[in-house]
Amino acid sequence: MTLRDGGSMRIYAYMRVNSNIDELDKEKESFISLLNTFNHKVSYSRVVLELASVDKSITLRTIFFNLINYSLEEDDFLIVKGIDCLGNSFKEILSTIILIEKKQIKLIILEYFNCELKESIRNNFIHFIEICISFEKLFLLDQSTQKNHRLSKKVGRPEKLTNEQKQEVINKFKKGFSVYSLAKDLAVSRTVIQRILEKSSE
């Protein structure tokens, strides 16, 4: 598919660039070169780059937000480099595609398919994204379960007495002190004292 900006056809190209990039102009030239290899001739002023980390929500990418809501009109083309340009999660990517469709903007994702996202191409892509959303949910759920499991293993009964106090309990018990009096002196329950004595006799 070949697109040429001009006349009634307006084409915008958008790419997300990592926020640690210093030479933005160099990145823009590189993106334009990539567009040319796909035979897309886009006006320099309509090639838009945004400094944003890959985990930044699309709702916080103001340049993209303004492009979709104010610059692009019905039947305009939007070319994005990859799916990372559309959101920070598969769920967000799907929401962005739906928003673009509602505004009747024609979308091309270069890294997916050098063609307008419509009909069978669109359906296959959406199906793939939905599968990825399901996987993402399972992955996050599994991570959460593992984290809770690790925390529950760490959370045990805290030691209430120091090693010196434990030794004192053993020595005093041998001298005839009762479990009750030892517990009262150290302000702990009788169970704590009994546990120390049981361990000492093992």
Residue range 103-141, pLDDT digits in tens: 999 999 999 988 999 999 999 999 999 999 999 899 888
The pLDDT, as a whole number, for residue 88 is: 94
- For residues 16 and 58, the answer to whether their CB atoms sit within 8 Å is no
Assign 38 a pLDDT band (cuts: 50, 70, 90).
very high
Q: Where are the alpha helices (DSSP H) in 14-118?
A: 24-37, 62-66, 90-102
Instruction: Measure the N-to-C terminal CA separation of the chain; round to a whole number of Å.
Output: 80
Element (H, E) at 24: helix 24-37
Q: What DSSP designation does 94 have?
A: H
Inter-axis angle of helices 90-102 and 119-154, to 10 degrees? Answer: 150
pLDDT confidence band for 147 (50 / 70 / 90): confident
Percent residues over pLDDT 70 in the chain: 91
> Please, what is the Cα angle at 125 between 123 and 131, to 5 degrees?
105
Alpha-carbon 95 to chain mean position? 15
Share of the chain above pLDDT 90, in %: 58
Residue 58 is predicted with a pLDDT of: 94
Q: Can you tell me which residue has the tokens 């984290």?
A: 147
HSE at residue 97, side-chain half, CA atoms within 13 A, is: 21
**How far, in Å, CA of 40 to CA of 35, rounded?**
5
152 — pLDDT class (breaks 50, 70, 90): low
Instruction: Please tell me the distance from the alpha carbon of residue 46 to that of residue 35, in angstroms, as a whole number.
Output: 12
| Angle of CA points 25, 29, 33, to nearest 5° | 170
